[in-house]
Structure 1
Amino acid sequence: MQNAAAGPKGIGPEGASPGSEVDQGRRRFLTLATSGVGAVGAGFVVWPFLASLKPSERAKALGAPVKADIAGLEDGQMLTLAWRGKPVWIIKRTPAMIESLTKVKAEVADPESSVQQQPEYAKNETRSIKPGIMVMVGSCTHLGCSPTFRPDYPAPEIAPNWQGGFYCPCHGSKFDLAGRVYKGVPAPINLLVPPYRFDGDTNIVIGEDQVAA
């Protein structure tokens, strides 16, 4: 005989029926399942985009030529841009900066650029196509730090006869305003001059060689 004190059939201790618990569980399952399908669908949408960024394509993009507009570059200023994941410096040298290269010739390790750190068209005293425009990779040839641009002189804390140039704060390597390395510093060779060419008077293309006229 059924106990009269018992509540209505199917009512739990907190007033929730087993049927409603099943319904809630089903809804949670359907929500999760729908979310899963959405995530999979999103994966199919994103995949073509990810596939378009294959390593070979990224490598090509990193190695692609870079064009720089130097029309607004003033005397003594330096422009920095990225090429192949490295900083490239473009300096508009003043007549005094060009003259300084002769003054420190005896103090640099490779004044004639005998080590092949530049294209043939930049193998000269100024290490450039045009004496007034210097282009070089801004990575120290010791361990790859980025030297600071120090055109100011005198600066006896850097060198007794400092005429302006680049100083690497990591280990003290010094370079003149043509990127030639000073004697007696950790860096073994001059800064790298990348392939480059002029496209008109105010544009430089980094990554393409200058064609002889």
Structure 2
Amino acid sequence: MSNDTTLKPAFQPAHLNHNTGRRKLLVAASVGASAVGAGFVAVPFLKSWLPSERAKAIGAPIKVDISKLEDGALQTALWRGKVVYILRRTDEMVATLEQLNDQLRDPHSKESIQPEFASDITRAQRDNVMVMLGVCTHLGCAPKLQSQIQGREERGDSAWLGGFFCPCHGSKFDYAGRVYKGVPAPTNLTVPPYRFESDNIVVVGEMEGENNV
């Protein structure tokens, strides 16, 4: 047998096994503590990616993709804790607006809340895209989109041309969010500040030329 051969004992004394196990336990504990420490360091870093509390408090703008919004359909989003309605109006929907002035409380939106550009009959930057808050100006319920056929069949309203009906107390609004006479809601549905970033991206909470991030 060569003198360079290293002999290994067939067994180790009990005290050596005990020390080995203890060392493994200490190493595992150290590794665990390091991982926890790294986690605490990462938390502020990850939080830096999130919107600041100030930004959330003032209602940072949101971007809404409407590329899949079909004609006559309604899409919703959340801004400042309120639901935003985005309606893709058809030509037929827009055509009803001129027929309703004498039935509306504020047809020219003189007493309602909206940007300056929304004071005309369509209340929109683009005739076929209506952006407004889905909050009834009476007590804050969510008005329901109803076609002409639905309103006449469900509520028996033979004069209904389509628009939004609030199921809570019966307030009615046209496809531009303008309120009818003789209902509890005092003003038209609110139009928030918004702009188009592209054909299919609506930025709610920001006007053209502003940067409210």
> Which residue does the alignment assign to 2:184?
186
SS in 1 for 2:149: coil
SS at match of 1:99: helix
Whether 1:100 aligns to 2:96 is yes
* 2:151 aligned residue (148, 155, 159): 155
1:175 and 2:173 correspond: yes
Q: Mark the CA change 1:163 to 1:84 in structure 2 (over 3 Å): closer, same or farther.
A: same
- Where structure 1 has 5 or more consecutive residues not aligned to the other structure, the ranges are 1-40
For 1:146 and 1:154, locate their aligned partners in 2 and report how far apart those are by CA, in whole Å: 17
Give unmatched runs, 5+ long, in structure 2: 1-35
For normalisation by structure 2, the TM-score amounts to 0.71
* 1:92-146 per-position Cα deviation (integer Å, ceiling 9, x unaligned): 1000000011122211111011114110011110000011100000000001011
Separation in structure 1 between the aligned mates of residue 142 and residue 173 of structure 2, nearest angstrom: 12
Q: What residue identity is the alignment partner of 1:117?
A: I
Deviation (angstroms), 1:161: 1.2
What's the TM-score once normalised by structure 1's chain length?
Answer: 0.71
Kindly indicate whether residue 55 of structure 2 is the aligned counterpart of residue 60 of structure 1: yes
Aligned to 1:83: 79
> Given that residues 112 and 188 in structure 2 are in contact (C-alpha distance below 8 angstroms), is that contact kept between their aligned partners in structure 1?
no
Please report how far the alpha carbon of residue 154 of structure 1 lies from its aligned counterpart in structure 2 after TM superposition.
6.2
Q: Could you tell me which amino acid in structure 2 is paired with residue 202 of structure 1?
A: N
Asked if structure 2 preserves the Cα contact closer than 8 Å seen for 1:154 and 1:162, the reply is no
What amino acid does structure 1 have at the position aligned with 2:55?
A: K
Tell me which structure has the larger Cα radius of gyration.
1
Q: How many residues align?
A: 166
Flag the 1:78–1:154 CA change in 2: closer, same or farther, 3 A: closer
Distance 1:165 1:120 in 2: 22
Verify the 8 A CA contact 1:141 1:189 in the aligned structure 2.
Answer: yes
What is the aligned-residue identity percentage? 48
Instruction: Indicate conservation of the 8 Å contact 2:109/2:119, yes or no.
Output: yes
Q: What is residue 201 of structure 2 aligned with on the other side?
A: 203
